[in-house]
Structure 1
Amino acid sequence: MADLKAAFAQAQIDVKTLTKRPSNEDLLTLYALFKQGSSGDASGDRPGMLDMVNRAKYDAWAKLKGTTTDAAMTQYVAKVKAMLG
């Protein structure tokens, strides 16, 4: 567990070193996995139709409902490693 949390924290640092901007889809995936790994299932109200960016972020996070925090952290670390090559 401590190793996973350390790897998750390191991945958050490593993702900032990407030389190329990830696609919007990759950014949403990273956001959703990060939120699920750090906060659990999506909470709060879904943003309104006119707030498209935050609505997309919320929807991506909400799709992971039921995913354990450990599984989300593992997927986040794997996604960052894959993006770094």
Structure 2
Amino acid sequence: MSLDERFIKAAEDVKTLKTSPNEDELLELYSLYKQGSIGDVNTPRPGGLLDFKGKAKWDAWNRKKGISQENAKEAYIAKAQLLIETYGTK
């Protein structure tokens, strides 16, 4: 299986976790997914005073700046596998 195919499969597999990961794990998954699929953050940081979730997601993604898309995809696959082993799937 190619890296892209494994990345897509991992993204599908994490949707079937029995239990939702904690916020930090979700932010890590989100940021690796965005870095792997898009690359460095390409939008301005959300400016709304109450958009805590949007800012947290943007900040998590921005911390991945400079990581290649290939490395981010590999890290995402590894993180997804760890979460599947931890939480199991439906």
Q: Which TM class, normalised by the smaller chain length? A: over 0.9
Aligned to 2:61: 61
1:41 counterpart residue number: 40
The gaps in structure 2 that reach 5 residues or longer are: 86-90
Amino acid at match of 1:68: S
Corresponding letter in the other structure for 1:66: G
The answer for the alignment partner of 1:5 in structure 2 is 4
State TM-score, norm by structure 1.
Answer: 0.95
Offset at 1:44?
1.4
Deviations 1:7-56 (A, max 9, x none): 00000110011001100000000000000000000011101232110000
Report how many aligned residue pairs link the two structures: 84
Identity %: 43
Amino acid at match of 1:37: G
Amino acid at match of 1:65: K
Q: Unaligned 5+ residue runs, structure 1? A: none
Match of 2:14 in 1: 15
| Residue 31 (str. 1) matches residue 30 (str. 2) | yes
SS of 1:22 mapped into structure 2: coil
Equivalents in 1 of 2:32, 2:53: separation in Å? 17
Deviation >3 Å, runs of 4+: none
